[in-house]
Amino acid sequence: MTVSEKGIEFIKSWEAFRPVPYLDSAGLATWGYGHKAIPGEVYPDHVDEITALSILQHDLMDPQRTISMLVKVTIDQGKFDALTSFTMNVGMGNFRSSTLLKFLNGGSLEQAASEFLRWCHAGGFESAGLLARRQAERAMFLTGVYQMHV
């Protein structure tokens, strides 16, 4: 399974396009649609939206593979897209060790969905923006409704 076009649009709406690098709430250099600098990567002075979309599609490859390998139950597109957004944002290692994944693989969808809301902190503090994103991911996971950020 791969992330849908609606899933990509959802992620883009929550990441927001940034043409120049900035430091995110965790202090990581970030640009485009939420691309985090990797060690040794040269920061661009500027990226256009087409390049940023290409980078985003590349950045989504590892989360999608991770979800496909770790999720042992059948899920629909909305669940896959919600998990892709979540995993891209929190990281594959965090998803791998999450209670969300344990509940999901155990067949407890409601408990898995409630776990999204635990992942709303940045820099040790609750972030209203992350909480809103997690609520939207949870809704997508449960209902297949994509709540774009405006």
For tokens 């992330």, name the residue. 3
The confidence score (pLDDT) of residue 28 equals 82
For tokens 């155990």, name the residue. 106
From the list 72, 50, 62, 48, the residue with the least C-alpha distance to 3 is: 62
Catalytic residue among 5, 9, 15, 41: 15
Q: What is the pLDDT of residues 96-113, one digit of tens each?
A: 999 999 999 999 999 999
Residue 15 is a catalytic residue? yes
The confidence score (pLDDT) of residue 80 equals 98
For the chain, domain boundaries: 5-143
Return d(Cα 103, Cα 62) in angstroms, integer. 22
Q: Indicate whether 25 pLDDT > 80.
A: no
The CATH topology of domain 5-143 is: Lysozyme (1.10.530)
The confidence score (pLDDT) of residue 51 equals 94
- Asked whether the whole model's pTM tops 0.85, one would answer yes
